[in-house]
Amino acid sequence: MKTAADPGWFGLWWWVWRGRSALGLGAPALSEAARRELLLRGTPGSATILAVRPRRGEPGHAFWVRVRVAGTPPYEARVRQWVAERDLEWMRPGDVVGCRVDPGDWERLMLYVPDFEEFEQAGRVGLGKILSDGRRAEATVLAVAPVAAEFGGHDDPLLRLDLELRAWDEPKPWRVRVVQQVPLAAITLIDRGGRLEAAFFTVDRGESVAIDWCASLGEE
């Protein structure tokens, strides 16, 4: 078991507390006409929300996302965009949303929350939906690493967790990889071999898995 003096813990804490760069630099916000054009003609893909914050002095939000488009390697981008308040619930760090990308400029894209049928077809749903409706499992931490991206305005780090899941109604354990925000209070739980409470919809590689941090911390 590692201790706070262990170099691995020092490196993780240094990453958690180091200064974060401002979020929202990069491509300018698209006009309404440009968004409509992308929605109709852009290349479809998915985007994992890495960070989000309100834009300072301007309407809308700035998102840091990891974009996946079929046939191309994943990449990270910053998006300035206005979204409805009801959609923000589905656009938190770790959530996966739809996107449309300009085939001539991969940094030019728009985000949108798919309807529930599209979520199901894509095999991805919001973390809140998984926690409220998903099946329960116990997760054992196999490895942890910070996401290779800076983010601003958040105290909780965004980490990549490799886990082994066990559920009473599944015949054998399976391994997943998730990218989720970890509350600072739960940092000591994610050492290798640590046990976490999780929720999931189906056995997959992590697309339908959410960590229940409240339950893991004994707050429920």
**DSSP string across 96-154:** EEEEEEETTEEEEEEEEPPPHHHHHHHT---HHHHHHHSEEEEEEEEEEEE-S----S-
The encoded tokens of residue 131 equal 């926690």
The encoded tokens of residue 141 equal 């931490």
Q: What pTM does this model have?
A: 0.55
List per-residue pLDDT tens for the chain, 220 residues long: 444 444 454 444 444 434 334 343 455 677 777 777 887 888 888 888 888 888 777 778 889 888 888 888 888 888 888 888 878 877 887 778 888 999 888 888 989 887 645 554 444 556 777 888 899 999 999 999 887 555 444 557 878 899 999 999 999 999 998 888 888 889 999 999 999 999 999 898 887 889 999 999 987 6
Provide the pLDDT for residue 123: 44
Provide the pLDDT for residue 138: 97
CA distance 159 to 69: 22
Provide CB contacts within 8 A for 33, sequence distance 6+. Answer: none
Provide the pLDDT for residue 27: 58
**DSSP type of residue 189:** G
The encoded tokens of residue 124 equal 């991805």
Provide the pLDDT for residue 156: 74
Between the CA of residue 91 and those of 11, 95, 111, 120, what are the distances in Å? 29, 6, 9, 16
Provide the pLDDT for residue 23: 43
CA distance 36 to 46: 17
